[in-house]
Structure 1
């Protein structure tokens, strides 16, 4: 990556608007946000001391080490069962689009960053500044992955603000890989004689536990070949605690290599993608369920 790009943590973008008539959270299209629980962030915007301000950022929940935790955010906003509250979220702001009557979207990112840094630098609380790092992209990405973060956003400093996916920024994610026992499949509803999704398991001590499914990364031929091989080892009783309507269960003799983004708090694979079927000669060891997902 060229040195004119910067790396930042980012997930779902959101915009916060505050004016003299009140505050409201909106999406990138300007419509009112349907996401609950951001009143504490709107209150923090009032304390910034500006009549009108539009920030681009994202709500995150940080773990004990100060890292964004997507699973905790889902729990805080009600997307997953759990005992968390939306007030745990903070807005990590990474861009400034409008300030006290001035439309800043036509200015280059380097100028917008200078302005937002004067407003939010060293600020703690419910609105914080997303850190900007100018560095070699490959080296930065390696450090980010080593820290267990999800990746970086690389942006060109000389570009104006443009919504949507443009060539002005890149999303570069970290990924993990592991070998998982295939314990069943869901038949394809679009292709006769093929699987639609593999059901996977990891080890927990001496037992296998269900860790989710994978439905991407296959060729049409692989989908059919897998169904043929799995049908030869069908079993009426699943080897893991799992009841799924329409699923076909198999003996856990085949192992798949899976690439995935992260583990969820519930011990499931996030953003899983099939890479290949491991051959018996590989002696592949089935992945161990991490303690956080136990």
Structure 2
């Protein structure tokens, strides 16, 4: 058999929101901390493509092999490749080493199906696509897993996700079709975390919020809005002494109008969990380690 292969489809992306939707019109799933992946099976076999359509089948070979055993002639699945801990939680920090050395310890969590056996399913409501996906993947406890969902109760689901120490959740309108790109029918709510970061400098720009330039484990981590009460803020200004820009900073940061501070000031920063750099972050307090 030959002919055109199933093509990569640009994934649907959730919009970030402060709080999850609460009406019963939504499905809620865990936001898995891994690499977004499209798993495609057609007449020529299975392959795994990244969020941008790059073929990573060799890195994910056990997942590709498992896909070829599913009971369908062809399909396109949307999901996330994760490195699960023994309790099933995704451990993003393990992703690269497992991809290099232990690919059999990776898993693919399927949360949508776009094609099956010659049928384009994207116009079906999300809840119906998930039923088709479930029938294909079934009680998934293996290398290809099914992303469970709950209907309604978004606030309660978010509390449970936060308590479990997970990155966040994704909510999808139960009747929505699958549309490539960012759409309001998929939204994500992320959990907050508070952690210690080293203060490198202060960036003040006219008409903008004052930002603290932060580092973690000696590496630039991003910036945080300074959200300190007036008295605490004044104490911080007194500690700001002329320092020098540390090495290894991105050019855009190092070249900016930044007052570099002496080393040893540790800031408590509130930030969104699961982001590579500080996002929507705020400096909540600080202490001097010297």
TM-score when scaled to structure 1?
Answer: 0.70
| Residue 278 of structure 2 is aligned to residue 271 of structure 1 | yes
- Quote the Cα distance in structure 2 between the aligned partners of 1:263 and 1:22: 33
Map of 1:233 onto structure 2:
241
- Quote the Cα distance in structure 1 between the aligned partners of 2:247 and 2:140: 49
- Quote the Cα distance in structure 2 between the aligned partners of 1:216 and 1:36: 39
- Quote the Cα distance in structure 1 between the aligned partners of 2:225 and 2:213: 11
Q: Contact 2:41–2:73 at 8 Å: present in 1 too? A: yes
Map of 2:82 onto structure 1:
60
| Residue 156 of structure 2 is aligned to residue 134 of structure 1 | no
- Among 184, 191, 208, the residue aligned to 1:174: 191
Q: Contact 2:172–2:187 at 8 Å: present in 1 too? A: yes
Pairwise CA distance, 1:179:
5.5
| CA 1:171–1:87: 2 relative to 1, 3 Å | same
1:133-282 correspondence runs (5 A): 133-178=150-195, 180=197, 182=199, 184-185=200-201, 198-200=213-215, 210=218, 213-217=221-225, 229=237, 232-234=240-242, 244=248, 248=260, 250-253=262-265, 256-262=267-273, 271-276=278-283, 278=285
- Quote the Cα distance in structure 2 between the aligned partners of 1:104 and 1:77: 31
SS of the counterpart of 1:158?
A: coil
Deviations 1:95-123 (A, max 9, x none): 11100011101111111111111111213
TM-score when scaled to structure 2?
Answer: 0.71
Pairwise CA distance, 1:200:
4.3
Name the Cα RMSD after superposition.
3.7
Which ranges of structure 1 fall in alignment gaps of 5 or more residues?
79-83, 202-208, 220-224, 279-283, 288-294
Pairwise CA distance, 1:5:
1.0
Q: Contact 1:181–1:256 at 8 Å: present in 2 too? A: yes
Q: Contact 1:7–1:154 at 8 Å: present in 2 too? A: yes
Pairwise CA distance, 1:141:
0.2
Which structure has more relative contact order (CA 8 Å, sep 6+)? It is: 2
The structure in which a higher percent of residues are strand is: 2
